[in-house]
């Protein structure tokens, strides 16, 4: 959306019969004459006939009750003081219109944002999941924004989203998160379960079998970003094995999606990462299962019965039933 400012200086008619007179057009004629052009050149440049130009000048002088041009025989025409006053006034109007265009651009941007938001009933902030990313485009009312589980919940609580998708593999941690969400008047529902584990180079040439193998110096690892539920799962598994982050080569190397982890491994940039069984299969990579986790949705209570939300949930669950590495929450 683009709003444009086109200033026009009109001489308002004093009666209802006569039309308002466009002085901006007259100023364009005078400016060309002031630049040393002839009236014939000005007429051609403005794509009007000489007769039309002459008649418009005469009408303007009559309405303003002053001479705008001095006609000097043998020397053409010269802009009068009144004509220069009109030219200068129009130049100031043009400068003002430039400032006003900035305001128009700001209004245009705000209207564009408002229109975009209005066309989307629900902003769905969600942890990376390929099934959800596959289903959401079928719903024009839903705008999917992919981010870590923690950020998704924060956006929901702060009112920046209507739905949040997150996953937690530890039941005790989920109890604490659930209480925090409910204190904000929000509802939680389990959506599906997924298998998380180690994604490895095809054939597993380094013979990686457990999380402890990630600490071997020859193993190059790729991690998920801070705040991602998958990274929190890895941290819990490392703690359980008595390992520290600094013992993992590549712990600070981050990607933001499961697909990006697999792509890095497939490109030979790294040997192992943590992610979904479904993604490992999709990219024809090896996989070692580590944890079955639950993926949850959080939202305002009244949205749970909303027709579009129910349809979205049903489509995601139906797809999870027939997808390797997923299952319905029991």
Per-residue pLDDT of 144-198, as tens digits, reads 999 999 999 999 999 999 999 999 887 788 888 889 899 999 999 999 999 999 9
Has residue 116 got a pLDDT over 60? Answer: no
- Same domain, yes or no: 133 and 202: yes
- Same domain, yes or no: 102 and 130: no
DSSP for residue 19: P
Has residue 323 got a pLDDT over 90? Answer: yes
Per-residue pLDDT of 183-199, as tens digits, reads 999 999 999 999 999 99
Q: In this structure, what CATH number is given to the domain that contains residue 24?
A: 1.10.10.10
Domain with 75, as residue range(s), is 10-118
Count of domains forming the chain: 2
Sign of CA dihedral 143, 147, 152, 156: negative
The C-alpha atoms of residue 8 and residue 19 are separated, in whole angstroms, by 14
Q: Is residue 4 part of a domain?
A: no
- Same domain, yes or no: 150 and 291: yes
Which residues are registered as beta bridge partners of 291? 196
- Same domain, yes or no: 189 and 279: yes
- Same domain, yes or no: 240 and 301: yes
Has residue 42 got a pLDDT over 90? Answer: no
- Same domain, yes or no: 86 and 134: no
Predicted structure pTM score:
0.63
- Same domain, yes or no: 51 and 85: yes
Q: Is residue 191 part of a domain?
A: yes
Q: Which of 87, 118, 149 corresponds to the end of one domain?
A: 118
Is the distance from CB of 128 to CB of 256 less than 8 angstroms? Answer: yes
What pLDDT, on a 0 to 100 scale, did the predictor assign at position 230? 93
Q: How confident is the model at residue 74 (pLDDT cuts 50, 70, 90)?
A: low
Per-residue pLDDT of 280-290, as tens digits, reads 999 999 999 99
Name, of 80-84, 117-121, 126-130, 299-303, the range with top average pLDDT.
Answer: 126-130
Name which of 32-36, 98-102, 125-129, 211-215 the model is least confident about: 98-102
Q: Which of 94, 118, 142 corresponds to the end of one domain?
A: 118
- Same domain, yes or no: 176 and 284: yes
Q: Which of 118, 134, 165 corresponds to the end of one domain?
A: 118
């Amino acid at each position: 959306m683009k709003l444009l400012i086109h200033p026009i200086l009109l001489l308002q008619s004093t009666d209802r019969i006569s039309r308002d007179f466009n002085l901006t057009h007259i100023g364009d004629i005078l400016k060309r004459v002031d630049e040393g052009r002839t009236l014939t050149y000005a007429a051609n440049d403005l794509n009007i006939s000489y007769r039309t130009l002459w008649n418009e000048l005469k009408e303007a002088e009559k309405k303003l009750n002053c001479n705008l041009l001095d006609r000097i025989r043998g020397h053409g025409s010269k802009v009068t003081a009144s004509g220069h006053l009109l030219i200068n006034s129009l130049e100031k109007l043009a400068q003002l219109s430039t400032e006003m265009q900035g305001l128009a651009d700001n209004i245009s941007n705000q209207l564009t944002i408002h229109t975009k938001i209005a066309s989307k009933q629900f902003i769905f902030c969600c942890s990376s999941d390929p099934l959800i990313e596959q289903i959401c485009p079928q719903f024009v009312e839903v705008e999917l924004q992919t981010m870590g589980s923690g950020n998704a919940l924060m956006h929901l609580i702060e009112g920046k989203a209507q739905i949040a998708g997150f996953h937690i593999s530890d039941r005790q941690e989920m109890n604490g998160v659930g209480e925090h969400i409910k204190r904000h008047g929000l509802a939680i529902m389990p959506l599906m379960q997924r298998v998380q584990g180690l994604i490895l180079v095809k054939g597993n040439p380094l013979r990686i079998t457990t999380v402890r193998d990630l600490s071997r110096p020859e193993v190059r690892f790729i991690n998920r970003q801070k705040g991602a539920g998958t990274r929190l799962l890895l941290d819990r598994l490392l703690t359980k094995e008595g390992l520290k982050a600094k013992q993992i080569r590549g712990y600070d190397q981050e990607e933001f999606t499961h697909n990006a982890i697999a792509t890095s491994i497939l490109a030979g940039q790294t040997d192992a990462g943590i992610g979904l069984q479904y993604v490992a299969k999709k990219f024809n990579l090896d996989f070692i299962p580590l944890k079955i986790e639950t993926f949850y949705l959080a939202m305002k209570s009244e949205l749970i019965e909303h027709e579009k939300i129910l349809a979205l949930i049903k489509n995601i669950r139906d797809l999870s039933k027939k997808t390797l590495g997923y299952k319905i929450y029991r």
